[in-house]
Amino acid sequence: MVNGSDSRPTQTSSSQIEQKAVRLYPVYTDLKNPDFGEVAQVMGIWGRSVSKADGLYTDRKPASPVLINGWVREGYPDTDTTRLATEIATAVTQITAMPAERVLVVIQSSPACYAVEGGRVLPEPGHEQTWIAGS
């Protein structure tokens, strides 16, 4: 049994084979994401989950994009965040063979104190070592 699944045989996709070849093993891949649009609304902010490509645009044209949404702590130079978004977009096009016109990468930032990991508020950039040490 892997990740809580039963022992029925499953088909192995080419991406699974590639992941295993570079030692990227699936961990908790059977988890289900919540409806993040509803999560946002419960928090009192506007949010919408999209399940169909209707109304989605990439490069001002109707599209079925690959959407990557990420987060960084405020305090890093904008050039670093832009470089990260660009490198992620490039990697997605290389890995998926998806045209760059269909890839949308959004990196949002907020103060570190807005995020909790492992029950602890994240440190400001530059204070990671103290945080890792548990202080």
Sketch out the chain's domains with CATH numbers: 1-51 (no CATH), 65-135 (3.30.429.10)
Cβ distance 114 to 120 under 8 Å? no
Residue 46 has pLDDT above 90, yes or no: no
Residue 98 has pLDDT above 70, yes or no: yes
Between 2 and 114, the more confident residue is 114
* pLDDT reported for residue 42: 84
Cα–Cα distance between 50 and 8 in angstroms, integer?
A: 32
* pLDDT reported for residue 15: 60
Distance of CA 95 to the CA centre of its chain: 15
The three-class DSSP label of residue 128 is helix
Could you tell me which of 17, 15, 105 has the C-alpha nearest to residue 69? 105
